[in-house]
A and B are shown apart, each in its own frame.
Chain A
Amino acid sequence: MSRSRTRRAPSAGFPAVLWVPAAFALALIVLPVLGLLTRVDPARLPALLTSSAAVDALDLSVRTSLVATVLSLVFGGPLAVVLARARLRGVRVLRAVVLLPLVLPPVVGGLALLYLLGRTGPLGGLLDDAGLRLPYTTAAVVLAQTFVAMPFLVVGLEGALRSADARYEQVAATLGAGPWLTFRRVTVPMLLPALGSSVVLTFARALGEFGATITFAGSLQGTTRTLPLAVYTTAQSDVDAAVAMSLLLVALALLVIGLAGTKAVEGRA
C-alpha cells in the first residue's frame, strides 16, 4: 500500500475506501466455506471421503462434467462464432435466447427438458417409441449439465470475438484465404485467450449443477447421483457425511481453477 516501497510503475490507483466493500465481498465468499470446515470431524473424514456414496458421486460428477464441457465446446463454440459474426437480422434475438439458461432457475430448466424429452413429451415420446429413454440415465445428467453450462462458453467466446477486431478476418479474406482457412488460422487463434476462462467456467458450472439434474435425470447412486445431489440426499440423514462431500466439491473446484491457472480465469493466458 505504501507506494514508496514498491518499485513497480505507479498504477492508476483507486480510492482506499473501496477496501471496505471489497472486504465484505470477500468475506461473504470465504467465510461460509470456512464455516463448512468447522463442521468437519477430522477423525471421521477419511472414512466419509472414501465411502462408496462419495466415491461414486465424485466419479460420476467428473465424468459427466467433462463430457458436458466437451459438448459445450463442440456445439457452443461454433454458436459463439455464428452469433458474433453472422449478419442476419434475428441474431440479436438469438443472443438473448442463449442467455436463458443463465437466468432461469435450474429446476425450470429441468422441467423444460423433462417436458420435451420425457416419455410424455413431444420429442421424448418419439424416442420412447424408438426404444430410447433419456430420463434416469447418465446421458440425461450430461444433457442437463450442458443445458445450464454451455451459455457460459458461448457468452465468453462471443464477447471475446466481438471485442476482437473483425478486420483481421477481412484482411485474410482479401489476401485470398477461404472462410475455412480464415476460421482456422485467424478466428480460432484470436479466441484462444478467452477459451481458458470460458472452459473453466463451463466445467465449474456443470460440476455444481443440481436443480436441472435432479428434476430431469432423477437421483440414483452411480447412475445419476452426482456430487451436488449426493450432498443433498446425504444431508437428510448424516450432515457430517454431507459436509465431507461438500469439501470434495470445493477441493475439486479449487483444483480446476488452479490447473487452469489464474491467468486463464482472468482471460489473458
Chain B
Amino acid sequence: MVKPRVVAAFAGFVLLLAGCSTGGTGQAQGERTVTVLAAASLTESFDELAGRFEAENPGVKVQLDYAGSSTLVEQLAQGRRADVFASADTKNMDKATGAGVTGAEPQVFATNKLTIAVPKGNPDHIASLADLNAPGRLVVQCAPQVPCGSAARTVEQAAGLRINAASEENDVKSVLRKVTAGEADAGLVYVTDAKAAADQVQGVDFPEAQRAINDYPIVSLKDAPEPELGAKFLDYVRGPVGAEVLTAHGFGTE
C-alpha cells in the first residue's frame, strides 16, 4: 500500500542526486572550460601546460583530473564526460577505444621509462637491477596489474631476474612515497617521478629500461562538451610548447 509513494519518493531522491551531480561546476559567465583527464604521472607537466594554455587563451579554464589510467578509462566507460584523455599506456587507451568513448585516432605524445629511485646520495650504492636483490635490501615496486608494474616485469625479464619486492603498490607515486619517506631503500619508478622528487631522491638508470619504453597516447573524446577547445589543447600538448615542458619533466618526445 505504500509502494507507489515509495517509488515516487525514490524517483525524487534520484533526481536530487542527479541535480547535485550536474550543478557543481560553478562556471563564470563567458568563461569556457576544457576538461582533461590525465594519467597521474602527467601531474607536474600538465599542470604547467594548463597554466601556459590558460595564459595564452584568456577566458579559457583547463580543468584537470589526474588518476590511474585504468580508473579514468572505467569512469569514461561509465559515462563520465570530458574533452581530452591522456593515458600512461597504450593498453588502457585501447580499452577506451574499445569502449567507444574516443572521438579520433589516439596519438602518442610522450614516452617514459623506468629508473631506480634511491635516497639522495645513493647510500646503498645501487648501480643495477641485480643490486636490488642484495640481502636485507627493502625494495618496493608497482603491482603487475598497473602500467608501471607491467613495465617492471618486462625489465626484470630482460635482466633475467625477479626482484624480491617487499610490497607491490597500486600506483607509482605510492612507490615513490615509500622511498622519500625512508621506508624503502629503493623503488622502481618512472624517470619523470624521480625527477619530480629530485630534492629527496635520485634516479639510477639501468640499460634494461630501454626494453620497456612506455608510450603516452592522447585523444579527444566523443561527446566532448567543448570539442574545439579540446582539440586546441591536444594540439598544444603535441606542439613545441608541449614538447618543451614534457622534456623538462623528463619525458621523451619525438
A residues near B (Cβ < 8 Å) are 1, 16, 19-20, 23-24, 27, 114, 118-120, 135-136, 214, 217-221, 224-225, 232-239
Contact = CB atoms under 8 A, between A and B. Distances in A.
A20 B165 contact: no
Contacts of B68: 236
Given A23-B6, A24-B13, A236-B70, A219 B168 contact: yes
B2 A20 contact: yes
Given A19-B2, A24-B9, A24-B13, A237 B183 contact: no
B145 interface: yes
Contacts of B13: 24
- Nearest first, the 5 A-B pairs at minimum CB distance are A218-B167, A237-B145, A136-B166, A120-B182, A236-B145
Given A24-B13, A119-B182, A234-B145, A239 B74 contact: yes
B206 interface: no
Contact of A27 (B10, B70, B183): B10
Contact of A16 (B2, B138, B181): B2
B215 interface: no
A28 B68 CA distance: 28
Given A20-B6, A118-B183, A219 B167 contact: yes
Given A24-B10, A233-B143, A237-B70, A218 B169 contact: yes
A19 B70 CA distance: 40
Contacts of A237: 70, 145-146
A229 B159 CA distance: 29
A236 B146 contact: yes
A24 B6 CA distance: 8
A119 B167 contact: no
A119 B168 CA distance: 19
Contacts of A239: 74
A238 B168 contact: no
A27 B71 CA distance: 26
21 contacts: A1-B1, A20-B6, A23-B6, A24-B10, A27-B10, A118-B183, A119-B183, A136-B167, A214-B170, A218-B167, A218-B178, A219-B143, A219-B169, A220-B165, A224-B167, A232-B170, A233-B143, A233-B168, A236-B71, A237-B70, A237-B145
Interface in B1-52: 1-2, 5-6, 9-10, 13
Nearest to A217: B167
Given A120-B183, A136-B138, A20 B5 contact: yes
A67 to B, nearest CB: 20
* Interface-centre pick from B13, B140, B145, B178 (highest chain A CB count, 10 A): B145
Given A120-B183, A218-B169, A218-B178, 9 more contacts: A23-B2, A24-B10, A24-B13, A119-B183, A120-B182, A136-B138, A233-B168, A235-B70, A236-B71
B172 to A, nearest CB: 12
B6 A19 contact: yes
A265 to B, nearest CB: 26
A19 B9 CA distance: 11
B167 A120 contact: no
B98 to A, nearest CB: 13
